[in-house]
Amino acid sequence: MATGINTSKLSTLKIDLLGCIESINSLSTRLDDCIITIKDSINAPGRKEIINQLNAFIKQFSRVNSNINGYIQVISKIEKKFQETDFEAASTLIQGIDKLGQ
Read off the pLDDT of residues 61-85 as tens digits, 9 standing for 90 and up: 889 999 999 999 999 898 888 878 7
Predicted local confidence at residue 66, as pLDDT: 92
> What's the pTM value of the predicted model, to 2 decimals?
0.65
Average pLDDT over residues 38-48: 83
> What is the DSSP annotation of 22-83?
HHHHHHHHHHHHHHHHHHHH--STTHHHHHHHHHHHHHHHHHHHHHHHHHHHHHHHHHHHHH
Percent of the chain whose predicted confidence (pLDDT) is above 90: 27
Q: How confident is the model at residue 10 (pLDDT cuts 50, 70, 90)?
A: confident
Nearest to 78 by CA among 20, 16, 17, 4: 4
